[in-house]
């Protein structure tokens, strides 16, 4: 996880994450459907934690999972792919 995706809550030492662009698309779609991350995980056939990792940018979905998410969430695949683009697997920006 990159430091740009985290904020430190100094009094308690907690770390909260800000969703990536892909994470925002996923969260917006889940909210629109009034569903939770666990629902998406079941329909895409991944562990619940995997969806959280995608939202935080800790991990990228495979192309198979991206296609499944597009269908389940009713979001164009191009929108998910565009939100995913722009970063290497290690979190650094593509040049």
pLDDT of 2 above 50: no
Residues 6+ positions from 81 with CB-CB distance below 8 Å:
66
Taking only the tens place, the pLDDT of each residue in 48-91 is 999 999 999 999 999 999 999 999 999 999 999 999 875 555 55
- What six digits make up the tokens of 3? 């430091």
Residue 6 pLDDT level (bands cut at 50, 70, 90): very low
State the number of CA atoms in the 13 A half-sphere of 33 facing the CB: 17
């Amino acid at each position: 996880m990159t430091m740009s995706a985290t904020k430190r809550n100094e009094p308690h030492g907690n770390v909260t994450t800000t969703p990536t662009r892909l994470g925002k698309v996923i969260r917006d779609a889940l909210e629109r459907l009034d569903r939770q991350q666990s629902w998406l995980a079941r329909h895409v056939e991944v562990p619940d934690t995997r969806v959280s990792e995608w939202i935080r940018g800790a991990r990228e979905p495979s192309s198979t999972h991206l296609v499944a998410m597009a269908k389940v969430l009713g979001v164009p695949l191009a929108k998910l792919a565009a939100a995913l683009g722009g970063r290497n697997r290690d979190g650094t920006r593509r040049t």
